[in-house]
Structure 1
């Protein structure tokens, strides 16, 4: 089930994707795969695989808010802009937060999208 809005909390090891509307929340977790090799660049490839899986989880969502540490957000933004421009165009904002609960994430995202949709002149389907 694909919904109009989603919030993604991420760091470099895991991501929580919460799709939601007024009455429903659908959660999906994505974990990074660690490849312990001596090969140069293996950490970068692992991060790209992880960020790619996060982008895959966002397919079909119109508006996405990405939250988490500033470093993880910056790395994810760089990846999405360079490798997944179709996903990047649906990301409407980035916010730095610590480790909120699922309910706190949803409340924060609903408030964010309400303001964002009003500013954009877009009626929110929430």
Structure 2
């Protein structure tokens, strides 16, 4: 079975990626955490953030359709990074939505509801 959809909750320090298929109850979760590099160099926090965002993009590799959710500033920064540095990932992101720390079940429910509407609008049928 292919898990063609994913929802990613992203902030500046943590990410939760849940992959799932539209017709199945199976969901696979990955949790990612930022690893801070404490150096005196200017811009080390930006470098750490970019490395963290790159790890999130790696976790999203191979997923056909992605919904990214999170707080306003975290989403804005992640979207800027993806658009600038990871255009292949940006092409697979269907939407960005601002939400407040949902549980894993709420996250999957939100994504399933989103992708049912999205697939109907694009005319694609869920793969089973």
TM-score normalised over the length of structure 1: 0.96
The Cα of 1:2 is off from its aligned counterpart by: 5.6
1:20 match: 20
Q: Distance in 2 between matches of 1:125 and 1:68?
A: 27
2:122 match: 120
1:43 match: 45
Gaps of 5+ in 2: none
Gaps of 5+ in 1: none
Is the CA contact (8 Å cut-off) linking 1:8 and 1:18 kept in structure 2? yes
Deviations 1:35-63 (A, max 9, x none): 11111010110000000000000000000
The aligned length equals 126
Higher normalized contact order (CA 8 Å, seq sep 6+, divided by chain length) = 2
Q: Distance in 2 between matches of 1:41 and 1:14?
A: 20
Of residues 77, 82, 85 in structure 1, which corresponds to 2:84? 82
Q: Give the match's secondary structure for 1:93.
A: strand
Q: Distance in 2 between matches of 1:8 and 1:118?
A: 21
The Cα of 1:125 is off from its aligned counterpart by: 2.3
Higher mean C-alpha deviation, range 50-59 or range 16-25: 16-25
2:7 match: 7
Deviations 1:5-59 (A, max 9, x none): 0000011000000001222110001111111111101011000000000000000
Aligned-residue CA RMSD (Å): 1.2
Superposed structure 1 runs of 4+ greater than 3 Å apart: none
2:36 match: 34
